[in-house]
Structure 1
Amino acid sequence: LMGVGMGTGENRAQMAARTAISSPLLEVKIDGARGILFNITGGTSLTMAEVSEAAEMISTHADPDANIIFGATIDEAMGDQIKISVIATGFDSNGRGGFTALQGIGQKAMVQSGDDSDDSGDDTSGDGPDDPFIPPKPTTKEDSDPFDIPAFLRQQ
């Protein structure tokens, strides 16, 4: 998960943090993340209290045992705005963290072997779990282009 939030005004740190962790463009929420990296960028008016407010808001949505790393940067061009960039990782596959595991991940790829001209209509290859997996044919040196290998490796 990666999110960015901007904030201005009186509660700018909370506004930026809320926007960063709950972007409407993202389907995944930060809730339950076990690893969070975030950076707060603001103008010269950025205070440690605002950094602390943002860190509190972000950490309350994370896993209680989360590893949270943050930084603060002063950028005079920001003026009275605050920008928070959040990267979250370490979600459980059981649905914690706002996403569900995709079905079919880890299933073997079905490879059809044989001649393409065989149109008998009785094509059952790849339909069952007992079908053998056919690995791709390895390439030989004659088949490969010499420019596929970088120059510094060819000269060794």
Structure 2
Amino acid sequence: MTLNLSMPGQDDLKPRITVFGVGGAGGNAVNNMIEKELDGVDFVVANTDAQALQQARADNRVQLGIKVTEGLGAGARASVGAAAAEESIEQIVDHLAGAHMCFITAGMGGGTGTGAAPIIAQAARELGVLTVGVVTKP
């Protein structure tokens, strides 16, 4: 019987960290992190506003609630932001898959961040991803 032992590669030993910017404020926070050349992190921006999403510097983007908002934003209604995140939950889960830790950054003054961030956090929790919320209040 032969026993093959191999050392894990350097990348296998690094934690996979995802930063999820939700809504306008979350997207701005992610843009600032990218400008500062923060490395070793997967950035994802999720928004109901299609124009704001196009301005995001992150390679990974999720258009939340295409049917619910038609790309026009949540109109400062948290219930619309939550419904949009529920509609796009499969894309959200795809970006969380394999992560060890997730930082969710959002503003609590509009509809998308306020409504969608808790839905994203719940999805991360269900996947067993250690999750930290970083939010701003108006």
Identify, as 1 or 2, the structure richer in helix: 2
What is the TM-score with the length of structure 2 in the denominator?
Answer: 0.32
Q: Report which of the two structures shows the higher radius of gyration computed on alpha carbons.
A: 1
What is the TM-score with the length of structure 1 in the denominator?
Answer: 0.29
